[in-house]
Amino acid sequence: MHIGGSTALVGGGASGLGAATASRLHAAGAHVVIVDQNEERGSALAGELGDRATFVPADVTDPEAVQAAVDVASEQPVPLRIAVSCAGIGWAGRVVGRRGAHALEPFETVIRVNLIGTFNVMRLAAAVMVQNEPTEAGERGVCVNTASIAAFDGQIGQIAYSASKGAIVSMTLPAARDLAPLGVRVCAIAPGTFDTPLLAALPEESREELRRVVPFPSRFGRPEEFAALAQHIIENEMLNGEVIRLDGALRMPPR
């Protein structure tokens, strides 16, 4: 898929992995529609990128709000061919902890944002993509979703987050199979510990420990490295139905 001459919708595109991806795709020539709840950051990024960048405020779990963002993407001068979902939240809690059973509401919220929000963006964007004129190779679009190594190596207290990301892993292949006859590819990236606002909230001692256990390179991943992989997936038409770990060979210990 050629990025130049395509419109890309980036869910959770105002910060972290999403902002880096939006910036890289814009630099590669895409018209970028940044979708996020954070209006201040989203508007600032769109202003920084300038021409070919638009911000649309939306909660990724809201069907009407995401449809409105997809409509904006569809109105761009070039077809909506790329959708990247990066919106996500975390929550720490054991199945049974000192205060009793894990509260149900935060579990439901994490599933709703991370999993249902991702599916919501993918389904609505793909519904537009399948109407595109195919490329010479028969492609009409590409969806890139964000999983996590927590899907495979969930730590103590990560039950909600791991469940949400594991579901993204599990839906990658069936989504790719569903959309393959229509010329739309689906892949997911499972990042390890990346230097994003989610990790920035941790105490420095915890951050140092997380950096130390990465085999090589022994540091946090950079959002730009996630964006580079997203670009490669978009441009490599043989990548389909795959989940790619991006983690410096990290396998998370139990705690």
206-221 pLDDT, tens digit per residue, is 778 888 889 999 999 9
Which pLDDT score, from 0 to 100, does residue 204 have?
Answer: 82
Which pLDDT score, from 0 to 100, does residue 206 have?
Answer: 76
Query: To the nearest 10°, the Cα dihedral for 80, 81, 87, 88?
Result: 150
- Predicted TM-score (pTM) of this structure: 0.95
Q: Give the pLDDT band of residue 9 (cuts 50, 70, 90).
A: very high
Domains and CATH numbers, the chain: 7-245 (3.40.50.720)
Tell me, yes or no, if 161 is annotated catalytic.
Answer: yes
Residue 150 contacts residue 195 (beta carbons within 8 Å): no
How does the average pLDDT of the chain come out, rounded? 95
Task: For residue 11, give every residue at least 6 positions away whose Cβ sits within 8 Å of its Cβ, in sequence order, or none.
Answer: 18, 35, 36, 60, 66, 83, 84, 85, 86, 87, 117, 118, 121
Q: Give the pLDDT band of residue 122 (cuts 50, 70, 90).
A: very high
Catalytic residue among 107, 161, 220, 226: 161
Sequence length of the chain is 255
pLDDT in tens, 20-37: 999 999 999 999 999 999
